[in-house]
Structure 1
């Protein structure tokens, strides 16, 4: 035996060395790949990126290991039926690992978005998860049958028979689920509606699910109406009357253009001079432009002055101090201008040695030119207000949220003022005013306001 090994050791040593090399490579990439990609994608704010990156690293790890085994087998003297069996096993392992990673990534993203949705009636995620599990298992089994040349007809017939049995056993639930989908997505009935069926049941809708709706009658009894029955019945829907505003809310929008002033600064002294002299529209542009640039990404609190001072002049300490200015603490542009100039002026006094930037790197002053226009949308109560809020443009949101405090001279916004003064909803107004504009995009703020108002309406239904 020793003599045989002495003669044939090379044919086994080379495949083993190749496999060990692939194992080392797989572990190296497994631990370095995720960190490298995450570092490269720091600017991407999507919460699901880490799920995709980690699962991509796993499938690359498995693929390299399987490729290492295959390469080792190719270099070894293994041939014939044993070679075919090993190849089929490797393909099977690869497909199982790929299916597992895809399922893991899909479930991760599904869980991520299911946690972000506040409304219970829009969360049939458990059913979707179960459907995904069944689908992955079924497809995986069929693929394995094909690889190992096993007849698939009996398995397919078994699946069809199982589906038929499940359909007949759950036909009532399926009917209710389909009807519930139509009711919820078509918004045929909403919480707080007063409905009356032809069969005599009537009351206020307190809950809507995928199977049934719950209504509360005058005698405080809760009636459960299956969705399949409700969708076929004749019913009267009386919307719960909401408190009318003293003054309706008119939504406005804005068109914004950028206009070069022709003025530029080469150093801190010139920058300070122009900050003190420029009209409010210039200061507004250079302190608020970053918000408009990022409708869908969370903006990093900053301003153009801080960026130029740090990146071009290299005064990092001053740039950092300017970038920490919270522009939402001020009620007018004059206060922002004074804060900027005070910080720069103090720095110049303490550091009198100023320097010019390189040619072509000057700070160009830009003016914001806005045209304000009324939209055709007017809200008379909270329900109308929240429905309009769902589709108005980001420009309209920017006008009513960010520009509002500069117009009215208060640390507030148009929505909170209207809710407080015309509807008397002071707590709701304060809740909206407390939303941190630094922690949300414009679309994120829209979602937060909608959630607060709809939660308030649902709470009123529960109480009433």
Structure 2
């Protein structure tokens, strides 16, 4: 009889774990089904809309849907296990804190995605201003951590007070870092320098702005190297931005012709070639009338500039390349001479 009672108690103990396990497993299964069916349909619907931000919100639900349903299963299962009230209270606090943290990371993912999408729409470049991304992520995570601590019964008022007092000491110790931080914010707010812009610095360095973060700005040079400049140095130096007020850029092509040539003919031929280039080449700015301007009586040639306009600063090189090739061929056809350097040497007999 005693052995029968033990076996009955053991079976009852084993059966007491069946329902909690089923609840947890059920939460995982329901979350998986919701993610694979409902979330996938929401993604398909979001892809059809022209609004990009709904894609960010729906894509952020990946993993979190199954995770949240699993937490719901764990919470329900905890009521069906013979835990002591104190232990049950701790378990509930851990589950709630985990849920708060997961919602925090979910909101941070959405916030970062929105900032990046907004930056992409404003700059037309995939590169994002990571300083705003980092600020957004940090603010959301700090708020989530404080709420999590509050859920454990930890008073956050002394922590906030300590952060305020300690912040002053940190600000004094990190003056250069904070200077770079606020200089980066100033650059982004004024939009005088944006990611994707081609700039030239006072020291001669030039390239495309790849990123503006909390400490420095990264520039990729035409040689495919990276120049890293502290934000406070960049904001206080002279900078030429070739994308402002617009990306299109005028540039001259220097040419010299013989003194024996008819300058009216030279001008006409040069303009014909320039107009053809401007109307056909994809790197040329549209609706621009090229110019010819004679400017110097040189040692062996009359020099002039043909002024063209490229769609961007980087397009000027290929545009100049094609123009010189076509102008040279046209000069040969028209018999227009491009003279070689000539020096006349006069000697005196002794």
* Residue 13 (structure 1) aligns with: 18
Q: Is the 8 A contact 1:51 1:109 kept in 2?
A: yes
What residue number does 2:156 align with? 152
Counterpart of 1:66 in structure 2 is: 71
Q: Take 2:289 and 2:172, find their aligned partners in 1: how far apart are those partners? A: 55
TM-score (norm 1): 0.41
Are 1:171 and 2:181 matched, yes or no? no
Distance, in Å, in 2 between the alignment partners of 1:416 and 1:229 is: 30
Task: Tell me what 1:419 maps to.
Answer: 288
Asked if the contact 1:145/1:151 (under 8 Å) is kept, the reply is: yes
Higher relative contact order (CA 8 A, sep 6+): 1
Instruction: Check conservation: 2:46, 2:55, Cα contact below 8 A.
Output: no
Shift of 1:70: 1.6
1:88 aligns with 2:93: yes
Query: In structure 2, what is the equivalent of residue 280 of structure 1?
Result: none
8 Å CA contact 1:419, 1:425 repeated in 2? no
Whole-angstrom CA distance in 1 between matches of 2:43 and 2:230: 50
- Counterpart CA distance in 2 for 1:35 and 1:416 is 44
Q: Which runs of 5+ in 2 are unaligned?
A: 1-5, 218-228, 249-278, 293-305, 319-350
Question: Which segment is superposed worse, 46-55 or 90-99?
Answer: 46-55
User: Following TM superposition, by how much is the alpha carbon of 1:229 offset from its aligned partner in structure 2, in angstroms?
Assistant: 11
Tell me which residue corresponds to 1:104: 109
Paired residue for 1:3? 8
Does the 8 Å contact 1:193/1:204 carry over to 2?
A: no
Aligned alpha-carbon RMSD (Å) = 5.2
Q: 1:50 to 1:204 in 2, by over 3 A?
A: same
Provide the C-alpha distance between the structure 2 equivalents of 1:54 and 1:416, rounded to a whole number of angstroms. Answer: 39
In structure 2, the CA distance between the partners of 1:9 and 1:386, relative to structure 1 (3 Å rule), is closer
Mapped to 2, the partners of 1:9 and 1:193 lie a distance apart of 72
Which of 52, 57, 70 is residue 52 of structure 1 equivalent to? 57
Cα 1:8–1:39 shift into 2, 3 Å:
same
Q: Which residue of 1 aligns with 2:144?
A: 140
Which residue number in structure 2 is paired with residue 35 of structure 1?
40
Alignment partner of 1:130 is 2:134: yes
In the alignment, what sits opposite 1:261?
Answer: none
Structure 1 184/5 Cα, relative in aligned 2: closer, same or farther at 3 Å? closer
Bigger-Rg structure (1/2): 2
Residues 107 and 129, structure 1, Cα contact 8 Å, conserved in 2 = yes
Listed one character per residue, the Cα deviations across residues 227-256 of structure 1 (whole Å, up to 9, x for unaligned) are 59987x9xxx9x99x9xxxxxxxxxxxxxx
Structure 1 residues without counterparts, runs of 5 or longer: 195-201, 213-223, 243-381, 388-409, 429-451, 460-464
CA distance in 2, matches of 1:31, 1:109: 24
Farther-moved stretch of structure 1 (130-139 vs 85-94): 130-139
Secondary structure in 2 matching 1:34: helix
The Cα shift of 1:96 comes to 1.6
Report how many residues are paired: 252
Gap change, CA 1:384 and 1:140, over 3 Å in 2: closer
Greater mean deviation of Cα atoms: 18-27 or 2-11: 2-11
Alignment of 1:40-439 (within 5 A): 40-47=45-52, 49-78=54-83, 80-111=85-116, 117=123, 124-125=129-130, 127-175=131-179, 178=182, 182=186, 185-186=189-190, 416-421=285-290, 428=310
What whole-Å deviation, never above 9, does each CA across 1:254-304 have from its counterpart, x for those lacking one? xxxxxxxxxxxxxxxxxxxxxxxxxxxxxxxxxxxxxxxxxxxxxxxxxxx
TM superposition shift of 1:35: 2.0
Change (3 A) 1:115 1:455: farther
Change (3 A) 1:135 1:185: closer
Is this contact kept in 1: 2:31–2:66, CA < 8 A?
yes
Shift of 1:4: 0.9
Distance apart, 1:75 and its partner CA: 3.8
1:180–1:68 Cα change, 3 Å: closer
Q: Which of 22, 30, 35 is the equivalent residue of 1:25?
A: 30
1:118-150 alpha-carbon deviations (Å, 9 max, x no partner): 679x9541x334334433443233223212223
Q: TM-score, normalised by structure 2?
A: 0.52
